[in-house]
Amino acid sequence: MGLRGALWARALAFALGMLALGAPASLAAAAASAAAASDGLGPVLWRNTSPVSATLGLPRAASAVLPAPGVLAADLALDWASDFTTNQRGDASVRLDGESLVGTLRLERGLAPGWAASLTVPFGTRGGGVLDQPIDGWHSLWGLPEGGRDRAPTGAVALLASEAGASAFAVDQRRSSLGDVQLGLARTLVDDGASVLTLRAQLELPTGSASELWGSDAWEGSLALALARPLGPLALTLQGGVLAGTASDFAPFDRKDLAGFGSLALAWPLSSRWSLLGQLDGHSALLDAPLTPLGGWSVQGLLGLRWRSSGAFAVDFGFSEDLRPGSASDFSLFATLRYRP
């Protein structure tokens, strides 16, 4: 296990230890865990925030629980991510140095019992940003490897990839844009009062610009199964599926015909208002490239908190790290406002 994986293991062990010490106090909230598994919130609304992976049709982790007929559920997510990775193999090379601030509006409406349709609209800006110095300081404090980040210009943006002299993309200044819009249809397959199993289909439209890394100029579709159920005092959500798409505009790197993706999310109620969130998200290679940031599998780890109001609103917030260095953004902060009437 690498240094980053070891630190994550220690952080997880610490969090679980603190929860174990607080278990007697949380027993009063454990009765709410079954409700938490079926409250429609589910996992953190998340997908890989890398400038490349985020353009290739990956669906965001979503709940297995659908809104009732005629009910509209809404999420407004904000992801603030910092990337720095360089990789070269043979005549192929990539450099991802920049920062992104992406907002995502997701609406899902119940159509009929066990059916729902969704619309996801991403928008944001990508440039040099301000996270470089805090991340450098964090790495220095804990003795974490910099990977060349400490020698790169602070606040720079350089998103470049090429092979044999042919450029796949080159972005060297701030860009703001609409991303690829996603349409979804979901059908509940099983709902026995404790567990919910739902099939989700999604179509991503080529509304963003591939040259500016806000889209792939391709049509992409996915099918996934999502399962929600209580696990002792925890609320568990599992999701797994397959992604396919037409040829993306990242030549000379071809997209994979098929890619797998999945997530595992846990929510531990600490009280009637607060829950601790832990989540793993991953996917197989999305592009046929000999470079990890483009053609490598990825796993990201998320830790966060969820606060529920006494009404229909909740807020998720926390951070994400790439557990396979170079395959996702180095570090991301997330915050999501959620509405479930």
Share of the chain above pLDDT 90, in %: 63
pLDDT of res. 134: 78
> Is residue 269 very low, low, confident or very high in pLDDT (cuts 50, 70, 90)?
very high
Q: Where are the alpha helices (DSSP H) in the chain?
A: 3-21, 23-30, 33-37, 132-142, 292-295
* Domain extent listing, the chain: 3-82+99-124+178-339
Residue 211: predicted pLDDT: 81
Q: What is the largest CA-CA distance in the chain?
A: 63
**Listed range (127-131, 234-238, 328-332) with the worst mean pLDDT:** 127-131
pLDDT of residue 32: 47
When pLDDT is cut at 50, 70 and 90, the band that residue 143 belongs to is low
pLDDT, residue 146, reads 60
**What is the pLDDT at residue 22?**
44
CA gyration radius, the chain = 20
Of the CA atoms within 13 Å of residue 26, those in its CB half-sphere come to 19
Tens digit of each residue's pLDDT (9 = 90 or more) over 88-107 = 999 999 999 889 999 999 99
Strand partners, 177: 124
Length of the chain equals 341
> How far apart are the C-alpha atoms of 306 and 310, rounded to whole Å?
13
Pick the CATH number of 3-82+99-124+178-339 from 3.40.190.10, 2.60.40.2300, 2.40.160.40, 3.30.930.10: 2.40.160.40
Q: Answer whether residue 308 shows pLDDT above 70.
A: yes
pLDDT in tens, 212-248: 889 888 899 999 999 999 999 999 999 999 999 887 7
> Which residue has 């985020």 as its token pair?
54
Give residue 177's identity as a one-letter amino acid code: S
Could you read off the pLDDT of 144-171 as tens digits, one per residue?
666 666 666 677 788 999 998 899 998 9
For 118-132, 277-291, 320-334, which range has the lowest pLDDT when averaged over its residues?
Answer: 118-132
Distinct helix (H) and strand (E) counts, the chain = 5, 17
- Between vectors from CA 208 to CA 259 and to CA 326, what angle results, nearest 5°? 50
Write down the pLDDT at residue 125: 92
More confident residue, 136 or 305: 305
- Banded pLDDT at 282 (limits 50, 70, 90): very high
**pLDDT score of 133:** 73
* Lowest pLDDT segment from 54-63, 166-175, 253-262: 166-175
Rounded mean pLDDT, 102-121: 98
Which pLDDT score is estimated for 178? 94
pLDDT of residue 296 exceeding 50 = yes
pLDDT at res. 29: 44
- CA–CA dist 132, 205 (Å, integer): 33
Q: Is the pTM of this model over 0.85?
A: yes
Are 242 and 59 contacting, i.e. CB atoms less than 8 angstroms apart? no
Among candidates 333, 330, 332, 331, which has minimal Cα distance to 85? 330
Tens-digit pLDDT profile for residues 14-56: 444 444 444 444 444 444 444 445 556 899 999 999 999 999 9
